[in-house]
Amino acid sequence: MKLLTTLWCVFDIPALEHKIEELEKQSAAPGFWDDAGAAQRVMRQLSRLRNEVSRWRDVAHQIEESLELAELGDDSLLDDLTAETEQLERTVEQLSFHALLSGPYDSEDALLAIHAGAGGTDAQDWAQMLMRMYVRWAEQHGYKVNILSQMEGDEAGIKSVTLGVAGDYAYGYLQSERGVHRLVRLSPFDAANRRHTSFALVEVWPDVQGEIDVTIDEKDLQIETFRASGAGGQHVQKNETAIRITHVPTGIVVSCQNERSQTQNRERAMQILKARLLSLEQQKQEAEMAALKGEHIGAEWGNQIRSYVLHPYQMVKDHRTGYETGNTTAVLDGRLDEFMEAYLRAKVGSAE
């Protein structure tokens, strides 16, 4: 109960309930649906807050009921109370983990990009394996995944892909995946069946719902159109609807090909560009803070955050936290929560 009380204070449930009241008044105001996009964002935020408060209220109520039953001193209830207490402990532990997602953009959707590193076909196949892993993880959590752009590999796999992952706290969870991922295995593309090491870079940004306070000068942009390829629906390969935007000052390149029209792809690509510029500014601030603390933070190419070893033994190890598991099949099938939790707890600990 003490842990729940502490978490209750951290999340400030009364403040969340006040925010719900404000959003409910806003949604009931005349003309609320005149701007459908803005209205949908408000309703989504309202739904998320209602679910969150309801979850906390339900747990508090269950704990109160269990305490009342325990005070009766009825031995016949002991087995039921023990089972209920164990379940409540697991639930409170989940709430404790959820409390780690308190960053300014942790509740937002996520944009996740995967880029094959040097290594030709093996690296491109590894990039596709990572894509499958993240799609499986998202599906297991009820998140919606859209392929925004994709470049196929020369023989197999993919050279790069950008995914939109929509769901509560998608960015909060996926931020742990940003960095270089290393695979060691016997290559299925090597006739001599030799062991190969492949690398892929994973980038993650918050897909902010609403206006992003980032100013972009049109003169700094190079905009190209091209025919969509790969996943993209019935309009693929018919017209030059896909958009590629290069932000010259930073060298950031974004592309979008899954929307039906060139205008929609341009709008989505601009949204992604703003999200990336926002994330870039955040990383600069984190690096400056780390420098002041005398720490070194790096996510450069070649500085792998996690290794996936399939030969000569089975192991997945996160080099930032030390967390590891021998169940490589489960990890590649999307079982990433333990890695994410270890990262978030380590991140909170280093910030204290």
Region of poorest pLDDT, from 198-212, 229-243, 248-262? 229-243
How far apart are the two ends of the chain, measured CA to CA in Å? 24
Does pLDDT of 338 surpass 80?
Answer: yes
Does pLDDT of 15 surpass 50?
Answer: yes
Per-residue confidence at 82, pLDDT binned at 50, 70, 90?
confident
Q: Which of residues 98, 130, 164 is at a domain's end?
A: 98
Residues contacting residue 345 through CB under 8 Å, at least 6 positions apart: 100
Contact 209, 335 (CB under 8 A): no
Residues contacting residue 352 through CB under 8 Å, at least 6 positions apart: none
Mean pLDDT across the stretch 35-61?
81
- Say what percent of the chain tops pLDDT 90: 38
pLDDT at residue 231, rounded to an integer: 45
Q: Which of residues 98, 132, 166 is at a domain's end?
A: 98
Task: Looking at the structure, tell me whether residues 206 and 332 fall in a common domain.
Answer: yes
Mean pLDDT across the stretch 148-176?
91
Instruction: Collapse the DSSP code of 202 into the 3-class scheme (helix H, G, I; strand E, B; otherwise coil) and give the result.
Output: strand
CATH code (residue 69) = 1.20.58.410
Higher per-residue confidence, 229 vs 68:
68
Q: Please state, rounded to an integer, the average pLDDT across all residues of the chain.
A: 82
pLDDT at residue 297, rounded to an integer: 41
Task: Looking at the structure, tell me whether residues 79 and 120 fall in a common domain.
Answer: no
Is residue 263 assigned to a domain? yes
Task: Looking at the structure, tell me whether residues 121 and 165 fall in a common domain.
Answer: yes
Burial 184-220 (b: 16+ CB within 10 A, else e): bbebeeeeeeeebbbbbbbbbbbbbbeebeeeeeeee
User: What CA–CA distance (Å, rounded) separates 206 from 280?
Assistant: 11
Q: Which of residues 48, 76, 98 is at a domain's end?
A: 98
Task: Looking at the structure, tell me whether residues 167 and 32 fall in a common domain.
Answer: no
CATH code (residue 129) = 3.30.70.1660
What's the length of the chain?
A: 352
User: What CA–CA distance (Å, rounded) separates 255 from 270?
Assistant: 9
Is residue 103 assigned to a domain? no
> Highest-confidence range of 14-23, 142-151, 202-211, 266-275, by mean pLDDT?
142-151
User: What CA–CA distance (Å, rounded) separates 121 from 127?
Assistant: 10
Question: Tokens standing for 36?
Answer: 């459908």
Task: Looking at the structure, tell me whether residues 150 and 228 fall in a common domain.
Answer: yes
Mean pLDDT across the stretch 247-274?
88
Task: Looking at the structure, tell me whether residues 263 and 295 fall in a common domain.
Answer: yes
Q: For 87-129, how does the pLDDT look when each residue is reduced to its tens digit (9 = 90+)?
A: 777 777 767 777 778 777 888 899 999 999 977 899 999 999 9
DSSP 153: -
Is residue 44 assigned to a domain? yes
Give CA 248 to chain center in angstroms: 27
Does pLDDT of 349 surpass 60?
Answer: yes
Range of the domain at 17: 2-98
Task: Looking at the structure, tell me whether residues 234 and 330 fall in a common domain.
Answer: yes
The structural domain count of the chain equals: 2
Task: Looking at the structure, tell me whether residues 93 and 147 fall in a common domain.
Answer: no
Compute the 3-state secondary structure of the chain and give helix, strand, coil in percent, each to the nearest 5.
50, 20, 30
Contact 316, 325 (CB under 8 A): yes
State phi, psi for 303 to the nearest 5 degrees.
-95, 80
Per-residue confidence at 46, pLDDT binned at 50, 70, 90?
confident
Task: Looking at the structure, tell me whether residues 233 and 119 fall in a common domain.
Answer: yes
Task: Looking at the structure, tell me whether residues 118 and 86 fall in a common domain.
Answer: no
Task: Looking at the structure, tell me whether residues 139 and 87 fall in a common domain.
Answer: no
Task: Looking at the structure, tell me whether residues 120 and 262 fall in a common domain.
Answer: yes
Does pLDDT of 259 surpass 90?
Answer: no
pLDDT at residue 175, rounded to an integer: 92
Is residue 204 assigned to a domain? yes
Contact 279, 171 (CB under 8 A): no
With the C-alpha atoms ordered 304, 133, 138, 322, is the resulting torsion angle positive or negative? negative
Is residue 104 assigned to a domain? no
The neighbour count for residue 311, using CB atoms within 10 Å, is 12
pLDDT at residue 232, rounded to an integer: 42
Contact 225, 240 (CB under 8 A): yes
